[in-house]
Amino acid sequence: MSGARDYHEEEALGKAYDARLMRRLLTYMRPYRELTAGAILFILLAAAAQISLASITKWGIDSYIKAGRADGFHAVALVYLAAVCGILFFSWGQIMTTVRLGQKVQHDLRMQVFEHLQRLHLRYFDRNPVGRLVTRVTNDVNTLNELFGTAVVAVIGDLFMILLIVVYMLYLNWQLALITFLVVPVLVGATFVFRARAREAYRQVRLKLARINAFVQEHVTGMAVVQLFTQEERAYREFGAINLDLQGAHLRSVIYYALFYPAVEIIGAVSLALVLYFGGVRIIGGAMTFGELTAFIWLVERFYQPIRDLSEKYNVLQSSMASSERIFRLLDTAPEISDPPRPRAIAAFRGRIEVENLWFAYEDEDWVLRDLTFSVEPGERVAVVGATGAGKTSLVNVLFRFYDYQKGSIRLDGVEIRDLALRELRSHLGLVLQDVFLFSGDYAGNVRLRNEGIGDEQVRQALSRVGFDRFLKHLPDGIRTEVKERGATLSTGQKQLLSFARALAFDPGILILDEATSSVDTETEHLIQQALEELLAGRTSIVIAHRLSTIEKADKILVLHHGRLREMGRHEELLSRGGIYRTLYEMQYRRTAAAPVNRQAAAK
């Protein structure tokens, strides 16, 4: 199964019932009042039809079998058949309605969580591993399905069933009923004691299962370390201990079941014995009929089922509380970055960016951007250079408002970007990242993403403009070919070209590009340079540059160093100044220019 499972995330079970959580959960059923009512109606009818079988049996025995009347006896059989069909129909209806109800609520809840995640800020994703968030959307929602899909309705059904049995027994013969009820406390007590014990045993089993799974997962992941340090035997010993521990927990829980089932049988036998003996005495005394006795036997046998069902619902309730608490915590996290209450709009887009005294930190006062001031004119090509950690990527993050800056301002065509709707801001900007993220699906889908407004023709054009058509030729289904394993089989260069095509297809007013550093072969390098030209031509752009050619062609170079803008100007200008830029140039760019030559020399 895809998606890593987190065996470490222990299934912490809290309270079984939390009124506040429960009330909030039940609000999700509100839109489906009719469905809920239908489900309850079905379950009540099914219970009633069940009980009617006892009454039909009584009728047949007393009025026909014992009376020796054969004519009309087939009518009893037909009524019985009708009741049985009724049970079939009502039970089926009940299952269909409750499942539908559960699924609808599950879908709503899942969409709510997913939609909320779309609105959350990136900092939230930095703090919460993707795997855990996926669990919220998938497993946690599924757990609640059980609550809505069966538990809520079934509890009503079980209680009704018990009520019907009790009432009918009392109606048939109240004295015998009371005698029979003597066993009920024992039965209920045994069931709930067993449930409590079994639940605890089961919790132990789950805890130990989680432990052994975490152990195995960890050792499978770190197998090379175990083997390099020759700790196989110790690992096996430790595993053996946990394994035995788990076995012990299993064996204990088996004992509870092994004791419980015979106990129920014996309690059942005792109640049957009571009915037979005291019923028999009444028959002898003429106070009771054979039909009534048979009905009693039938009812006594059906008493246990709803009691057991009820005790099982406790587990469902408990896991629902834990899941819903996690889900609600996510839903209650407010997005830190959202649209302003009254967004302003850019009247006529030109693409001028002004950054003024900009300060930004991810945490507290650890400034990664310090007092930046610069502007980008429409149509200008700006290169940003600097060593690792200079703040280049952070600049991209604040321009897109992935994170909010603390001081200073960024204006797009004169409007502070915080006053723009996020959609509007991002619709003017295009982003090409160093690590290209590809989605599963076909090539076309990776260019247009989910924007159906970009047609196949536009996709093809974009791909051909970046020179990807030469690869496309070899694909069996052209742009409809699936990208395997999210691009794992594609070369770095191909992935970059794809992301260029994506940016071209969206045709943003301003392009922000984080050039990839990884080395590619000379041919691909050539392709990428051409594609880059195609992408940047006539477009306002900010490029975090790693290629000398890109920098040389820039209208303006910003040199960032430890978060500050230290130098600004054109290539020759900065080079002759002999500052940081010059050092950077000698360190990186001259080397990349020289590397292939050196490689050839080395191969000799």
Partner 1 sequence: MNTTATQANTPPRQLATVTKYFRTYRWYFLAGLAVTVLSSGLMMYTPRLVGQIIDGLEQGRGAGYAGRRVLILVGLTAASGVFMFLMRRTVIWASRYIETDLRGEMFSHLLRLTPSYYHGTRTGDVMAAMTNDLEAIRMMAGPGVMYTADAAVSLLIGLVMMLTISPSLTLWALLPLLVLPFGVHRIGSVIHKRNAKIQDHFGVLTAAAQENLAGMRVVKAYGQEEREIENFRAVSETYIGLNISLAKVQGIFAPLMRLIAALSYLTVFYMGGLRVINGTETLGTVITFFGYLALMTWPVIAIGWVVSLYQRGLASLARVNRLLHTEPEVPEGGGRAAAGPMAGRIECRNLRFSYNGRPVLDGVNLMIEPGQTVGLLGLTGSGKTTLVNLIARLHPVERGMLFIDGVDVNDWPLRELRRQIGFATQEPFLFSDSIAANIRFGRPEAGLAAVQQAARIAALDKDVAEFPQGYETMVGERGITLSGGQKQRTAIARAIVVDPRIIILDDATSAVDTETEHEISQRIKEVLTARTAIVISHRVSSVKDADQIVCFDDGRIIERGDHEALMARNGFYAQLYRSQLLEKELEAL
CA distances from 552 to 538, 540, 564, 570, 575 (A): 16, 16, 22, 8, 11
**Measured from the CB of residue 220, what is the shortest distance to partner 1 in angstroms?**
5
Stretch that binds partner 1, among 27-35, 477-485, 539-547, 596-604 (CB under 8 A): 596-604
CA distance 587 to 561: 15
Taking CB under 8 A as the rule, which mask of x and - marks residues 1-40 in contact with partner 1? xxxxx-xx--------------------------------
Taking CB under 8 A as the rule, which mask of x and - marks residues 421-460 in contact with partner 1? -xx--xx-xxx-x---x-xx--------xxx---------
Contacts of partner 1 in 148-207 (CB under 8 A): none
- Pick from 383, 384, 388, 338: nearest CA to 368: 388
Question: Helix or strand or coil: residue 372?
Answer: strand
Lay out the sheet containing 407-412: strands in order across.
367-376, 353-361, 407-412, 415-416
525 near 531, Cβ under 8 Å? Answer: no
Stretch that binds partner 1, among 80-88, 367-375, 409-417, 527-535 (CB under 8 A): 80-88
Please spell the DSSP secondary structure of 220-250, one letter per residue. HHTHHHHHHTT-HHHHHHHHHHHHHHHHHHH
CA distances from 414 to 231, 401, 419 (A): 65, 16, 11
By CB under 8 A, tell whether 362 contacts partner 1.
Answer: no
By CB under 8 A, tell whether 91 contacts partner 1.
Answer: yes
Toward partner 1, which CB reaches closer, 250 or 344?
Answer: 250
Query: Residues 394, 398, 403, 409: what is their CA dihedral angle, to the nearest 10 degrees?
Result: 130
Of these, 22, 188, 190, 297, which contacts partner 1 (CB under 8 A)?
Answer: 297
Taking CB under 8 A as the rule, which mask of x and - marks residues 241-280 in contact with partner 1? --xx-xx--xx--xx-xxx-xxx-xx-xxx-xx--xx--x
Contacts of partner 1 in 542-581 (CB under 8 A): 561, 580
**Measured from the CB of residue 558, what is the shortest distance to partner 1 in angstroms?**
16
Q: What residues contact 317, with CB distance under 8 A and at least 6 apart?
A: 16, 17, 147, 151
Taking CB under 8 A as the rule, which mask of x and - marks residues 97-136 in contact with partner 1? --xx--xx-xx--xx--xx-xxx--x--x----xx-xx--
Rounded to the nearest 5 degrees, what angle is found at the Cα of 441, between the Cα atoms of 435 and 445?
80
By CB under 8 A, tell whether 81 contacts partner 1.
Answer: yes
φ and ψ at 401, to 5 degrees?
A: 55, 35
Toward partner 1, which CB reaches closer, 58 or 195?
Answer: 58
Of these, 168, 181, 374, 402, which contacts partner 1 (CB under 8 A)?
Answer: 402
The residue length of the chain stands at: 604
Q: For residue 510, what are the β-bridge partners?
A: 429, 540
CA distance 200 to 560: 60
Contacts of partner 1 in 223-242 (CB under 8 A): 223-232, 234-236, 239-240
* 376 half-sphere exposure, CB direction, 13 A CA radius: 28
Toward partner 1, which CB reaches closer, 64 or 160?
Answer: 64
**Measured from the CB of residue 67, what is the shortest distance to partner 1 in angstroms?**
8
DSSP label of 529? H
φ and ψ at 491, to 5 degrees?
A: -75, 165
Of these, 53, 385, 444, 545, which contacts partner 1 (CB under 8 A)?
Answer: 53
Q: What residues contact 32, with CB distance under 8 A and at least 6 apart?
A: 101, 104, 105
Of these, 21, 47, 87, 165, which contacts partner 1 (CB under 8 A)?
Answer: 87
**Measured from the CB of residue 562, what is the shortest distance to partner 1 in angstroms?**
9
**Measured from the CB of residue 418, what is the shortest distance to partner 1 in angstroms?**
16
By CB under 8 A, tell whether 287 contacts partner 1.
Answer: no
Toward partner 1, which CB reaches closer, 431 or 497?
Answer: 431
**Measured from the CB of residue 420, what is the shortest distance to partner 1 in angstroms?**
12
**Measured from the CB of residue 53, what is the shortest distance to partner 1 in angstroms?**
7
Number of residues that bind partner 1 (CB under 8 A): 146
**Measured from the CB of residue 474, what is the shortest distance to partner 1 in angstroms?**
20
Helix-, strand-, coil-residue percentages of the chain, each rounded to 5: 65, 10, 25
Residue type, 130: V
Q: Which helix (H) or strand (E) holds 355?
A: strand 353-361
Assigned token pair, 514: 């984080």
By CB under 8 A, tell whether 210 contacts partner 1.
Answer: no
**Measured from the CB of residue 259, what is the shortest distance to partner 1 in angstroms?**
6
Contacts of partner 1 in 304-343 (CB under 8 A): none
**Measured from the CB of residue 231, what is the shortest distance to partner 1 in angstroms?**
6
**Measured from the CB of residue 104, what is the shortest distance to partner 1 in angstroms?**
7
**Measured from the CB of residue 183, what is the shortest distance to partner 1 in angstroms?**
12
Question: Helix or strand or coil: residue 506?
Answer: helix
φ and ψ at 541, to 5 degrees?
A: -150, 150
